[in-house]
Amino acid sequence: MDDVSETDRAGVATSSRGVRSVGRGASAEERAAAERSRTAFARFRTAAGEGHPAELGAVVVPADASPRVFAEASLSPNTIRAYRSDLRQFARWRAGFLDHEISEPHELEQITTAPVDPAEVAAFLADKANAVLPDGGQRYAPATISRYVAAIDWEHARRGHTPPGSTPIVRDVLKGIRRTRSVPVRRAKPMTLKALQTTLLKIDVADLQTGALGTRDQALLLFGFVGAFRESELTALTVDDLRLVDGEGVYARVRKSKTDQDGLGRIKVLQQGANPVTCAPCAYVRLSRLMAAQDARGEAGLFATLTGASLAVHVCADGLGTDRLPPSTPFFRAVSKWGLFRNTGISPTTVGKAVARRALAAGLGEDGWSGHSLRAGFVTEARNAGATDVEIMNQTHHTNAATLQIYDREYAPLVRNAVTRMRL
C-alpha cells in the first residue's frame, strides 16, 4: 500500500472492501483503529496474492508445480505482467478494436494470440508504426513495438510454436520500423550531487505530521543515489538486507535484480559521508530508529524520536538503539496520511513520485525527474570524478560496460571526449 494523500473528510467511514477510513475530525483512538484495519487488509491482500512486487517478495511456487509454472517463474513478475499487457493489445487488434475504443474482457475471450501467422504479426507491427497522436506525433515508439514482438514470441514459445520474431518478414518489418520511425528517447534527468544536496536540505525530518515521510524520503533519495539502486531494488530491501559496519558504512544485499534473475545476490556499500546531510549511514540510522520507536511505543515513540531531529549532525556512530525491527520488515515502508509508518513496503512507482515531489519542493522544477534520476546522477557524478567502468559497475551492478556509454552520451558528453584536449 503506497502513501495516502490528505483528505478533508471528517469522521470514520468503511469502504466497500471493509477498510476503515478516517478524516480530520477523528479521535486518536479512531485513527489508531483505522491504521490497524488498513494494515490487516494489506496483509490479507498479500496472502491472497495481490499487491505490488515489493509486498509479495520472492516468487513462490507450490510443491507440486507443473513445468509450465516453473517456466513462468524463470521471468520476473514485472516481465510477465508486461508481456500479458502487450498480448492484450495484440488480441484487441486481432479483434478489430481501434486504439481509442474500449474493449470488455469477454470480447477478447475467444481471440488467440498463438499460433499466429508471421504475416499477420508483421501487419500488426506496421499498423502500430503508422498510428499517430492528435498532434501528429508517433503513438508508438519503436521500442514499444519491439516489446510487442518479444511478448508475442514468448507466448508462441511457451505454447510450443515457432516465435514469429525469428521469421524474415517480421525481422525485416521491425528493422524497417526502427530505421524510419526512430525517435529520441526521453531519459530521466540525472539528480547530480548538487541537486541532491539542494533537495535534501528542503526536507523536514522533525515535523510531527510529516517527519516520518521526510525521514523515509531522505533515506530513499540517499540510498538511491549513493547505492545507484534501481527502483525495484530499493523497494525490495528488507531490514535483514542491511548491516551497519563501523568505519565503513551500510552493507546492502541486493537479493535479486534485473541483471541477477537467479537471485545469487550482491553487496552494495553505502559509504559514510563527510557531510551529515548526504551521509547514507546517518539516513539509515535515523529511519531505522524512527520506525522501531513507532513499532515499540506507537505515536508517542514516533513523536519523541522526531522531536529535535536534525540533518545537521552525524548520527551514524550512535547505532540503532535498543528497539529493533523484525528482519523481514520492508525497510522502505508506506506512510499513512496521518504521518504513521505502515507495515507494508512501497512500490517502485512511489520512488519516482518521491523524487519528483521532493525535487519540485526544492525549486528544481517538475519535468524529467523519476526514480532513475538517482541512479543516473550517480553515474554522471562518478564519470565527472574520473571513475573507471569497473569502479562504476561495482556499484551499479551493470553487466555490460557498453551500457555506461549511454550515460556518457546523455549525461556526461565531455567525459573522455577529444574536444577537451583541444586548445580552443
Sign (positive/negative) of CA torsion 113, 118, 123, 127?
positive
Given pLDDT bands bounded at 50, 70 and 90, which one contains residue 186? confident
pLDDT of residue 166: 96
Q: Are 130 and 176 in a shared domain?
A: yes
pLDDT at 24 over 50: no
pLDDT at 3 over 70: no
Domain assignment present for residue 118? The answer is: yes
* Residues 169 and 221 both lie in one domain: no
| pLDDT level of residue 18 (50, 70, 90 thresholds) | very low
Please give the grid coordinates belonging to residue 340: 504513521
Say if 206 falls within a structural domain. Answer: yes
Let me know if residue 98 belongs to a domain.
Answer: yes
Tell me, yes or no, whether 176 and 204 share the same domain.
no
| Number of Cβ atoms within 10 Å of the Cβ of 367 | 10
Comparing C-alpha atoms, which of 100, 344, 331 is closest to residue 220? 331
| 176 plus 210 within the same structural domain | no
Whole-prediction pTM: 0.72
CB count in 10 Å sphere of residue 369: 25
Domain contains 350? yes
> At which of 361, 382, 413 does a domain end?
361
One domain, residues 338 and 229: yes
Count up the domains in the chain and report the number: 2
Q: Give the CATH number of the domain where residue 320 resides.
A: 1.10.443.10
Task: Give pLDDT tens digits for 387-423.
Answer: 999 999 999 999 898 888 888 877 778 887 888 888 8
The residue type found at 243 is: R
Host domain of residue 88: 67-180
Of 321, 340, 361, which residue is a domain's last?
A: 361
Q: Is the same domain home to 230 and 279?
A: yes
Q: Tens digits of per-residue pLDDT, 125-155?
A: 999 999 998 888 899 999 999 999 999 999 9
- Residues 167 and 197 both lie in one domain: no
User: Which pLDDT belongs to residue 16?
Assistant: 37
| CATH number of the domain within which 154 lies | 1.10.150.130
What percentage of residues in the chain have a pLDDT greater than 90? 64
Q: Does residue 300 form part of some domain?
A: yes
Instruction: Tell whether 176 and 198 lie within a shared domain.
Output: no
What integer pLDDT is reported at residue 252 of this predicted model? 97
Among the candidates 147, 180, 213, a domain finishes at 180
Q: Which three cell numbers stand for residue 249?
A: 558504512
Q: Is residue 380 part of a domain?
A: no
C-alpha to C-alpha distance for 204 and 214, rounded to whole angstroms: 6
Provide long-range contacts, Cβ within 8 A and 24+ apart, for 405-409: 407/376, 407/379, 407/380, 407/383, 408/383
Contact by Cβ (8 Å): 132, 124? no
Looking at per-residue confidence, does 170 or 54 come out higher?
A: 170
Task: Clarify whether residues 311 and 208 are in a common domain.
Answer: yes
Assess whether 201 and 163 both reside in one domain.
Answer: no
Rounded Cα–Cα distance for residues 129 and 145 (Å): 7
**Tens-digit pLDDT profile for residues 72-105:** 777 877 788 899 999 999 999 999 999 889 899 8
Confidence of residue 264 (pLDDT cuts 50, 70, 90): low
- Give domain status of residue 262, yes or no: yes
Higher-confidence residue of 183 and 46: namely: 183
Residue 419 lies in a domain: no
- Alpha carbon 263 to its chain's center: 18
Asked whether the predicted pLDDT for residue 349 surpasses 70, the reply is: yes
Same domain membership, residue 90 and residue 216: no
Q: What is the mean pLDDT of residues 220-248?
A: 96
Strand ranges of the sheet holding 242-245, from the earlier edge strand across to the other edge: 242-245, 249-254, 266-271
pLDDT score recorded for residue 15:
41
Q: Backbone phi, then psi, for 35, in 5-degree steps?
A: -60, -45
Residue type, 234: L
Residues 198 and 265 grouped into a single domain: yes
* pLDDT of amino acid 4: 53
Between the alpha carbon of residue 130 and those of residues 79, 176, 180, the distances in Å are 26, 12, 11
Rounded Cα distance, 352 and 348, in Å: 7
